[in-house]
Amino acid sequence: MNALIKSATIVDSKSDFHNETVDILIEKGRISKISKDLDNPNNYQEIALDNLHVSQGWFDSSVSFGEPGYEERETIANGLKTAGHSGFTAVGLNANSRPVIDSYADIAFVKSKAANNAVSLYPIGALTQLSEGEDLAELYDMSNAGAVAFYDYQYPISNPNLMKIALQYASNFDGLICSFPQESRISGLGVVNEHINSTKLGLKGNPALAEELQIARDLFILEYTEGKLHIPTLSTAKSVELIRAAKAKNLNVTCSVAIHNLSFTDDVLHDFDTHYKVLPPLRTQKDCEALIEGLKDGTIDMVTTDHNPIDIEHKKIEFDFALNGTIGLESAFGALQNIFTTKKTIALLTQGKARFGVKTASINEGELADITLFNPDKSYNFSQADISSRSKNSMFLGSALKGVAYGVIANDKMVLK
């Protein structure tokens, strides 16, 4: 792929041209020249967009696309297209499908479905067979097939010995174990945060204690095994404190937070709108503030959209019975920029790569082009017209956002809106 990007401001601290507005010449998928006012003698496609900025390609460590089994919610092909339109050049695909992705063949299948795409798909294999929490899945085989981590998506591992064995076994091949932070015997049938609003609304509560107990348990096991652990989607202030203390002890742990848990509290639940039904649930303002502070001081390593398309039949029903989940790829950049500076937003969208073994490339001459194109200043109200996903279950509908992605250039391909 050949292209000439005109008048783009580079946001990449590892680039020799950081904060400069330049032209970028890409030939055969590689950056061949960066300078001001480059000529285009070979008549390559020129990309000139309003207030154009570029950065290293963004990465999301937790997305679900449905396929195989839930193609009515989302397919891999359209999911990757949506990710590209939203500025992501790489995504970690959860084993949130039927059949569950828990074998070498399953990993090979999803990789084949994603082949020859601008957006790279990094499969996350199930930690246990069928994600049932009973027996470990084929972790080593899946690693050889290309799995970058192992996670029973939103299913907690109740057996502490199983978690111990998983961390010990995966250490033999530097495998990354992910553990969903919820003690199910405490959370019970809770569907929202256990607090004042759950009582007012008459909805069963899922207390912060359920998350914090599970995290505390896993950190004790991690310290014992000296393994490698990632805890996805923190949602409480105490959880941040637990991770901060673990990192002070130099435990090999990372964590993420879902962008919607930074943006909304359980105060939005008064209309019983199932768009806001997610797991972990939306918490309090105090929790939001602690999560944001955790990102600022580096306690929390990365953000995720936790993108989870749900079909209307399973979303537009009584709150107790609706499935958890919101899509989030399309709104991610604009939502983060409501909270952080552009520089910090870009850092949050790129710094999770190393943990999941995702390739990185700075915006410098000679590097492969792995670039996100965006306008950080456009303000707009997020609507269904902004959604590329098959499912439309976004809790950001109607929200005022700041910043839009134009698309990506990666893997010798280009995806633009």
- Catalytic residue (one of 23, 306, 370, 386): 306
Residue 257: closest CA among 15, 60, 23: 60
Distances (CA, A) of 210 to 172, 265, 292, 357: 31, 18, 21, 30
Q: Please report how many Cα atoms fall inside a 13 Å half-sphere around the Cα of residue 62, on the Cβ side.
A: 30
Distance CA 417, CA 390 (A): 16
Q: Any catalytic annotation for residue 152?
A: no
Are 212 and 298 contacting, i.e. CB atoms less than 8 angstroms apart?
no
For residue 275, the one-letter residue type is: H
Residue 269: closest CA among 259, 280, 257, 281: 281
Strands 400-410 and 413-416: antiparallel
| Catalytically annotated residues | 306
